Amino acid sequence: MRNLYTNHGLVLMRIWIDPDVTLSEIAGDIGVKERAVYAIVRQLVSEGFIVKEKAGRRNKYYVNIDKALDFQPIPNTTIRQQIMGLAMTMGMRPVEDGKATDTGRSGLTGTRQPV
């Protein structure tokens, strides 16, 4: 079966899950060569999706989550809006202003609630 995500999206998600992950581990996890992961990471860093930080002899990467969520893979539709739409179909509802403080910018509650 085909993967519904691009390699760029898979690398971004893998780094978001574990900032200590190595490029070699990412390559093994998503099924591409380490050189391809290196090129993808360089591009994501240059476009501001990932911040690279030196940690001793290794690099550590962090996802700029706001930039990632505000990306528009389809004109006029952000990743954030797509996630909210999917979450709402699963029974989650948007947070009303001021009623939840721990949900971040996603705008969704952490529990499933009837719509």
Sign of CA dihedral 60, 23, 68, 51: positive
pTM summary value: 0.69
Q: How do residues 32-85 score in pLDDT, each as one tens digit?
A: 999 999 999 999 999 999 999 988 988 899 999 888 888 888 888 888 888 888
pLDDT (0 to 100) of residue 115: 37
Q: What is the DSSP string of 21-48?
A: --HHHHHHHHTS-HHHHHHHHHHHHHTT
pLDDT (0 to 100) of residue 96: 64
Label residue 112 by pLDDT band (50, 70, 90): very low
Every domain of the chain and the residues it spans: 7-65, 72-106
CATH-assigned architecture of domain 7-65: Orthogonal Bundle (1.10)
How far apart are the C-alpha atoms of 76 and 96, rounded to whole Å? Answer: 23
